[in-house]
Structures are given as C-alpha cells and as structure tokens.
Amino acid sequence: MVLFHHRPLWNFKPTNVLVIASDIRQLEHIEYTPAPDIIHEGAGHAPNNCQSGICGISAEVRRKLGSKAISSAKDYELYEAVRHLSIIKKPKAPSQVDIDMAQKKIEDLQDNMGEPSEMALIRNLHWWTVEYGLIGTLEGPKIYGAGLLSSIGESAWCMTDKVKKIPYSI
C-alpha cells in the first residue's frame, strides 16, 4: 500500500511505503491542526488504509491517473501557497497579518486558476473524498475523510446543519 500524503502527485514514485508526518499538534490546535501530524495519520488515514477495498481504489487512482496526469504551473503555485500557510500557522504565535496575507494569496490563486488541469481534478477528488469526504446519504452522512476523522472540532462541525452537504460530482 502506498500513500503520498501532502506531497505533490507529480513526484509520484511507487515505493510501497506509507509516508507519514511524525510530529504532533500543539495544545492550542488540539481540535484541529493546520498541518498534518501523527494524529491525522493514525486516526485519519490508518483506519481507511486497513480496508483493502478503499486502499486498492486509492492505489489504482494513483497508479492509473495520478502518475499520468498533467499539472500546470498554477497547480504548483497553489500547492506551495497552501504549504506556506500551513507552515506559518504552526508556530506558537504567528502574526495574524502574515496568516491573512497567506490566506489572501491562496484565495487569489483559487479565483484565477483558469481551466482545471488533470492534476487539479484528481487533487479535488482526493481532497473531497480521502481527506474531507462524507459517505452515506445527505440526511444521514457518516465521516469518512482523514481530515475529519482526526479532528474533533471539524468532525463535530461537519455534522451540523450549518454545513451544507452536497453530493460529490466529478
């Protein structure tokens, strides 16, 4: 089983190794961490990776689509902007001005991506399934994504009526 978590898919190299974050969230981020940590990996990805069907589907998507998809310069620029935001949110007391500037850059990039590349479509599929997906029905959703499974705050919030749930469509 291979998981290339928080690594751009254009660096895809099959190694049959589960690549994980080894640090742990700080107390002030106990309900949600801005960057992946060992709790996200263990409570989020590990349960789904133990399910052969789910793991097999993920591996097939990476092997048949991810390794062949074409990405754009905008994809890489957005990846780096998101990475930068997660880095600056992690220290003890990041400047709110720096966080706001990084968030604004991401919003500007997202608003000006143009036609989505193949890689962007695969990234969105991954993000709204493996990371933040719900399964079941709109009336009775169940938490599936690793970002939700590993986050007490996000798990509780996503199940409220304040969060609009829509069927995923490629």
Q: What is the pLDDT of residue 158?
A: 92
The one-letter code for the residue type at 13 is K
pLDDT of 6 > 60? The answer is no
Q: What is the pLDDT of residue 161?
A: 92
Please give the Cα distance from 109 to 101 (Å, whole number). 12
Q: What value does the mean pLDDT take over residues 7-26?
A: 61
Cβ–Cβ < 8 Å for 2, 14 = yes
Q: Render pLDDT for 141-163 as a digit per residue (tens, 0 to 9).
A: 999 888 888 888 889 999 999 99
Q: Render pLDDT for 72-107 as a digit per residue (tens, 0 to 9).
A: 888 888 888 888 888 877 666 678 898 899 999 999
At 138 the three-state DSSP class reads coil
Q: Render pLDDT for 107-129 as a digit per residue (tens, 0 to 9).
A: 999 899 888 888 888 888 888 88
